[in-house]
């Protein structure tokens, strides 16, 4: 297995390849570093942006949006795709308010819709279909979120799910913690389903990309 030093170097190298972000996004990245808040980071964010541009996404739903860093990448793609909506959903009012401030400063006021709620419930209650759904909620809830996501994604739509390598813990046969097992179960469900075409991309903590047939 790769050593932690190599993984850190790889992440630093990949982040270094991402073109400079606006000052507000850099401030969001700095805050995450200083407080250990788990944002997707530049390399994964840029990858999400790339996928969203490639599928021409204009209707995006995010589950587990934090203070809006990943949202900023999707909002940029949606604006450049001709305009649309990114749903920002987090269950914490304070994070939602902070996201509103950051994303307003980035010029995404008209693009992002905010909801303070449990995210899978919010997705159930929001009219689809969506071109792209991004899942970054608490990991134990990944398996039960999959049928809801499938239902709300258009055929040909894309699902992106973060943390499927779970700091390498998914590869440790002695790790049976709830989140690790849930990520394994989610991975098994989506990779063996005839309804999805998938690839697990090992950027940072592992992004699963799923194409709904």
Sites of contact with ligand SAM (CB under 6 A): 38-40, 64-66, 69-70, 89-92, 95, 118-119, 136-138, 141
Closer residue to ligand SAM, CB minimum distance, 38 or 129: 38
Please state the closest distance from residue 90 (CB atom) to ligand SAM, in A: 5
Please state the closest distance from residue 121 (CB atom) to ligand SAM, in A: 8
∠ CA 5-10-13, nearest 5°, is: 125
How many other CB atoms are there within 10 angstroms of residue 28's CB atom?
Answer: 25
Tell me how far apart the alpha carbons of residues 57 and 200 are, in angstroms, rounded to a whole number. Answer: 20
Closer residue to ligand SAM, CB minimum distance, 153 or 161: 161
Please state the closest distance from residue 66 (CB atom) to ligand SAM, in A: 3
Residue 92, preceding bond cis, omega within 30 degrees? no
Kindly give, in sequence order, each residue whose CB lies less than 8 Å from that of residue 12, ignoring residues fewer than 6 positions away. none
Closer residue to ligand SAM, CB minimum distance, 138 or 197: 138
Please state the closest distance from residue 65 (CB atom) to ligand SAM, in A: 5
The CA radius of gyration of the chain, in Å to the nearest whole number, is: 16
Tell me how far apart the alpha carbons of residues 176 and 180 are, in angstroms, rounded to a whole number. Answer: 6
Closer residue to ligand SAM, CB minimum distance, 128 or 197: 128
Tell me how far apart the alpha carbons of residues 157 and 165 are, in angstroms, rounded to a whole number. Answer: 23
Closer residue to ligand SAM, CB minimum distance, 91 or 150: 91
Closer residue to ligand SAM, CB minimum distance, 6 or 50: 50
List, in sequence order, every residue forming a beta bridge with 207; answer none if it has no partner: 201
Please state the closest distance from residue 69 (CB atom) to ligand SAM, in A: 3
Tell me how far apart the alpha carbons of residues 66 and 61 are, in angstroms, rounded to a whole number. Answer: 13
Q: Which residue is nearest to ligand SAM (CB)?
A: 66
Please state the closest distance from residue 120 (CB atom) to ligand SAM, in A: 6
Q: What share of the chain is helix, strand, coil (3-state, %, to 5)?
A: 50, 20, 30
């Amino acid at each position: 297995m790769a050593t932690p030093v190599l993984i850190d170097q790889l992440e630093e190298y990949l982040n270094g390849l991402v073109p400079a972000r606006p000052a507000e996004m850099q401030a969001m990245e700095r805050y995450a570093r200083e407080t250990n808040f788990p944002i997707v980071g530049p390399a994964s964010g840029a990858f999400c942006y790339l996928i969203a541009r490639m599928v021409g996404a204009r209707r995006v739903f995010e589950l587990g949006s934090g203070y809006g860093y990943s949202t900023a990448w999707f909002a940029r793609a949606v604006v450049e795709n001709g305009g649309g909506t990114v749903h920002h959903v987090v269950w914490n009012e304070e994070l939602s308010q902070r996201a509103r401030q950051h994303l307003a400063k980035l010029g995404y006021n008209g693009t992002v819709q905010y909801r303070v709620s449990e995210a899978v419930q919010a997705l159930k209650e929001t009219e689809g279909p969506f071109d792209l759904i991004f899942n970054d909620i608490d990991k134990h809830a990944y398996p039960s979120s999959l049928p809801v996501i499938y239902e709300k994604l258009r055929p040909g739509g894309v699902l992106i799910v973060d943390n499927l390598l779970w700091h390498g813990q998914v590869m440790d046969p002695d790790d049976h913690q709830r989140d690790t097992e849930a990520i394994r179960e989610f991975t098994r469900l989506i990779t063996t389903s005839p309804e999805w075409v998938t690839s697990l991309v090992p950027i940072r903590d592992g992004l699963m990309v799923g194409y709904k047939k």
